[in-house]
């Protein structure tokens, strides 16, 4: 960590319980992802493992500020912390990664491609930027049903996704409809291996907000309290009828694109810079400094996370994968549509 000087006073609008819950989600996410990485390296997970190391603060902030059962959260690849904060069951993660037939995706899709669409959490596809219009459609449906009051739809992307046509079309569409969409951009310096200067030419992605006619925020994505404060402002503003919000968090992905990638393209000086701080360490120092949590509580949360993760992995590992002979091999809900 580069320094220990953090704001002493937390935002009075941030409830201590919310701050603590977010940090706990971040801890649990780190423990879970570390376990998933081990399972991948041991050959127990097929395909890939994609972590959100270093992005837990911004992801968790969005997840914790959205309410399961009311709001919509459309997570992307590096949102394990946000998923936990939005109360996704750890079993959904372990079952999907380990290919259990009992998971929400039943082995039909894997790893981060999971969700519970009917509970406000769509399952991402790999093509970037498409979540913006999807959430916009979910919000439009709520408006048409007269059930939009107080609802926010949040989604995450990385800096790479901002180069897609889908991102542009989706944000513009949400802005035209003035829907409560909060888009969090984790500007994590690299899209896979491509540095941001090969991705876009504006100084900051924040500049994009004005072009779409939406509110824009920029935040140090390594600063836990700042992330919570900023995302809260954006979510509150969307909830109050302020239309779409764009939050850009500057940070560094502290892992490879996936666990197959050693991220050797990240220059050491960037790792050593302020961007390379670990948001979990920053959060720990901030919360201890504010007296919001004690060392022993953190330690207990770590232990609890380890136990919960072990249990979720153990359950999923015992479960059967899908049986190709029992599979109905049907891509439509109506029978007879494939002939």
Partner 1 sequence: MSLTYIDAIHQAQAELLRDDDSVFLYGQDIGAFGGAFKATKGLKEIYPERVLDAPISEDAMIGLSVGAAIEGMKPIIEMQFADFSSVAFNQLVNQAGTHYYRTGVPVPITVRMPCGGTPGSGPFHSQMIESLYGHYPGLVVVTPATVSDAYHLLKQSVNLPDPVIFCEHKFLYRWLKSEKIEETNLPLSKARIVRSGKHATVVTYSAMVHEAVRAAEKLEKEGWEIEVVDLRSIKPLDTDCVISSVARTGRLLALGESFPWGGVTAEVVSRVVAEGFHLLDAPPMRLNAKDTPIPYHPDLWAAHRPTPESIIQKLRELLSL
User: Among residues 9, 144, 318, 324, which is the contact residue for partner 1, using CB under 8 A?
Assistant: 144
The DSSP letter of residue 274 is G
Residue 86's closest CA among 191, 182, 216, 222?
A: 182
For residue 102, state whether it binds partner 1 (rule: CB under 8 A).
no
Q: What are phi and psi of 84, to 5 degrees?
A: -65, -40
User: What is the nearest approach in angstroms of partner 1 to the Cβ of residue 173?
Assistant: 4
Length of the chain: 339
Residue closer to partner 1 by CB (options 10, 173) is 173
For residue 136, state whether it binds partner 1 (rule: CB under 8 A).
yes
Residue 156's closest CA among 34, 249, 259, 21?
A: 249
Rounded CA separation 136/72 (Å): 10
Rounded CA separation 314/77 (Å): 23
For residue 326, state whether it binds partner 1 (rule: CB under 8 A).
no
For residue 318, state whether it binds partner 1 (rule: CB under 8 A).
no
User: What is the nearest approach in angstroms of partner 1 to the Cβ of residue 104?
Assistant: 7
User: Among residues 8, 145, 203, 318, which is the contact residue for partner 1, using CB under 8 A?
Assistant: 145
Residues 151-170 that bind partner 1 (CB under 8 A): 165-166, 169-170
For residue 70, state whether it binds partner 1 (rule: CB under 8 A).
no
Total residues contacting partner 1 by CB under 8 A comes to 46
Q: Which stretch binds partner 1 (CB under 8 A): 20-28, 38-46, 76-84, 137-145?
A: 137-145
For residue 336, state whether it binds partner 1 (rule: CB under 8 A).
yes
Q: Where are the alpha helices (DSSP H) in the chain?
A: 16-41, 56-65, 80-85, 90-98, 130-144, 165-177, 207-212, 224-239, 268-272, 279-289, 295-318
For residue 117, state whether it binds partner 1 (rule: CB under 8 A).
yes
For residue 324, state whether it binds partner 1 (rule: CB under 8 A).
no
Rounded CA separation 210/282 (Å): 31
The DSSP letter of residue 242 is -
Neighbouring CB atoms inside 10 A of 306's CB total 16
Residues 175-194 that bind partner 1 (CB under 8 A): 176
Residues at the site binding partner 1, with contacts judged by CB under 8 A: 104-106, 108-109, 113, 115-118, 122-123, 125-127, 130-142, 144-145, 165-166, 169-170, 172-173, 176, 330-334, 336-339
């Amino acid at each position: 960590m580069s320094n220990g000087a953090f704001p002493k006073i937390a935002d009075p609008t941030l409830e201590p319980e919310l701050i603590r819950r977010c940090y706990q989600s971040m801890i649990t996410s780190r423990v879970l992802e570390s376990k998933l990485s081990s399972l991948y390296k041991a050959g127990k997970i097929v395909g890939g493992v994609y972590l959100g190391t270093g992005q837990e603060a911004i992801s968790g902030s969005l997840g914790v500020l959205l309410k399961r059962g009311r709001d919509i959260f459309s997570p992307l690849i590096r949102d394990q912390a946000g998923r936990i904060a939005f109360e996704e069951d750890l079993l959904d993660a372990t079952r999907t990664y380990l290919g259990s037939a009992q998971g929400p995706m039943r082995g039909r899709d894997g790893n981060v491609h999971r969700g519970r669409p009917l509970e406000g959490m769509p399952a991402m596809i790999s093509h970037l930027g498409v979540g913006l219009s999807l959430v916009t459609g979910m919000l439009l449906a709520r408006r048409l049903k007269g059930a939009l009051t107080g609802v926010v739809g949040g989604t995450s992307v990385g800096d790479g996704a901002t180069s897609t046509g889908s991102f542009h079309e989706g944000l513009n569409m949400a802005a035209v409809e003035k829907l409560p969409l909060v888009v969090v951009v984790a500007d994590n310096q690299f899209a896979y291996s491509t540095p941001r200067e090969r991705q876009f030419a504006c100084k900051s992605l924040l500049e994009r907000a004005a072009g779409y006619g939406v509110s824009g925020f920029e935040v140090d994505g390594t600063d836990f309290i700042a992330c919570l404060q900023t995302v809260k402002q954006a979510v509150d503003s969307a909830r109050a009828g302020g239309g779409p919000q764009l939050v850009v968090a500057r940070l560094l992905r502290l892992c490879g694109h996936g666990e197959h990638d050693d991220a050797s393209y990240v220059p050491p000086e960037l790792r050593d810079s302020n961007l390379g701080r670990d948001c979990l360490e920053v959060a720990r120092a901030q919360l201890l400094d504010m007296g919001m949590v004690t060392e022993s509580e953190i330690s207990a949360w770590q232990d609890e996370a380890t136990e919960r993760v072990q249990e979720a992995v153990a359950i999923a590992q015992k479960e059967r994968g899908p049986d190709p002979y029992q599979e109905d091999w049907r891509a439509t809900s109506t029978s007879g549509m494939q002939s």
